[in-house]
Amino acid sequence: MTSLICGSLAFDTIMSFDGRFSEAILADQLHKINVAFLVPAMRREFGGCAGNIAYNLKLLGGDPLIMATIGIDGDPYLERLAGQDISARCIRRVADAYTAQAFITTDADSNQITAFHPGAMTFSHQNRIADAGAVRLAIIAPDGRDGMLEHARQCADARLPFIFDPGQGLPMFDGAALRDFIDLASYVAVNDYEGELLTERTGLSFAQIADRVTALVVTRGENGAHIYAGGEQLEIPPVQVTQVVDPTGCGDAFRAGMLYGLSQDMDWPTIGRLSSLMGAIKIEHQGGQNHAPSRDEIEARFEAAFGYRF
């Protein structure tokens, strides 16, 4: 069943800083920061939340449909999607803008500093949910501000259940707007930092947010995740990784697991475990879309981690 993925397509320039940001930024000098980080390693990757989610959903055997915008430099991304048999029919090209660009620096503790140029993403509101046709489920991932607002309303009007995934776009919205998103959504997915910011801005506790949706999912990095559903709080264990290489795109991989699990009517413990596994597989590789396990390999690793097959 097709899952509609509303979010960004971007080119990621990813750099590695061998030291720690905390050692280069003085706490008592935050009002006048002027720092430079030597980054011996740099690469350019295909990224953006919608692209990363779609890539991981395809690995699972799902049917992703991306709704996004690209700029005048977007042909390489379209060629990549075609090679992966991921539909681009709901991707709009903006003629006078560049595709969104993220510049990400990761330190030795996996902390990240990101500069982001939205480019064509600013025009995401020109896309219409109705143009997607028959889909079962959607996700509103970080995108242009107006696009996120419009697509949430359009999903609700079409009675299309969706995951609200504010991600790094959360600071764009005040408490009233975030409460509206929650009331329109069927599911909310945040990491622990975003979750704290969400409760602070809305004035709602996790329990209160969970009462307004079918499920609230809070990822906790190496500590797994919490899922609040049906009046219960489920503890989702982490999956042991062989090595931590790059956290870029781990949250997107997790959300792809959610989309697949929901589309297959799995129970929440299984959805959470599959999502956790996808994040673990991703973190063992550089970039958001360079891991390439087969479906059989994913199933085998799930069984090894949890003792049953999904």
Its CATH class, for the domain covering 2-10+48-97+126-306, is alpha beta
Tens digits of residue pLDDT in 237-282: 999 999 999 888 999 999 999 999 999 999 999 999 999 999 999 9
**Is a pLDDT exceeding 80 seen at residue 22?**
yes
Q: How confident is the model over 7-30, as a mean pLDDT?
A: 86
Mean of the per-residue pLDDT values of the chain: 95
**Distance in angstroms (rounded) separating the CA atoms of residues 173 and 129:** 21
At 122 the pLDDT is 96
pLDDT of residue 260: 98
Q: CA–CA separation, 222 vs 227, rounded Å?
A: 15
CA dist 61 and 277 (Å) reads 15
The per-residue pLDDT for 70 is: 98
Domains of the chain, residue spans: 2-10+48-97+126-306
**Residue 34 in tokens:** 């002027």
Percent of the chain at pLDDT exceeding 90: 85
Q: How far apart are CA 258 and CA 241, in angstroms?
A: 20
| For residues 30-49, average pLDDT | 88
Per-residue confidence band for 161, with pLDDT thresholds at 50, 70 and 90: very high
**Model confidence at 8: pLDDT above 90:** yes
Percent of the chain exceeding pLDDT 70 equals 100
Instruction: Choose among 11, 128, 114: nearest CA to 70.
Output: 11
Average pLDDT over residues 204-208: 98
Task: Please list, in sequence order, all residues whose beta carbon lies within 8 angstroms of the beta carbon of residue 2, skipping any fewer than 6 positions away.
Answer: 63, 64, 65, 132, 134, 135, 136
Instruction: Check: CB of residue 64 under 8 Å from CB of residue 51.
Output: no
pLDDT in tens, 106-156: 899 878 888 889 999 999 999 999 999 999 999 999 999 999 999 999 999
Q: DSSP letter string over 182-215?
A: HHH-SEEEEEHHHHHHHHHHH---HHHHHHHSSE
